[in-house]
Amino acid sequence: MSFEDALELLTRDESFKATLYEMNTLLIQKGIYSQNEFESLFVEWAKKELNRKKQRQQVDPSIPVTR
């Protein structure tokens, strides 16, 4: 499968996720950061994002809190 074929087959969201996966894999392999550092930063971002969504819902209860 070519890169162009893969781009055509994936949705925009899947393509973005694939790009992030590739970039993080490369950065870990190059020693820029470790898998543990990546996971820690990922969890930190997820917590902030969930808190942000909860705060938005408190301001406007019609906004759903989703994953």
Q: Is the pLDDT of residue 42 over 90?
A: yes
Tokens of 19: 């790009």
Planar angle of CA 13, 15, 16, nearest 5 degrees: 65
**Tens digit of pLDDT for each residue in 47-57?**
999 999 988 88
**Tens digit of pLDDT for each residue in 6-26?**
989 999 999 999 999 999 999
Amino acid identity of residue 11, one-letter, is T
Q: pTM, whole model, 2 decimals?
A: 0.63
Q: Are 3 and 10 in contact (CB under 8 A)?
A: no
Tell me the domain boundaries of the chain: 1-32, 34-67
Q: What is the pLDDT of residue 65?
A: 67
Tokens of 61: 């209860």
Report the alpha-carbon distance of residue 21 to residue 33 in Å, rounded.
Answer: 14
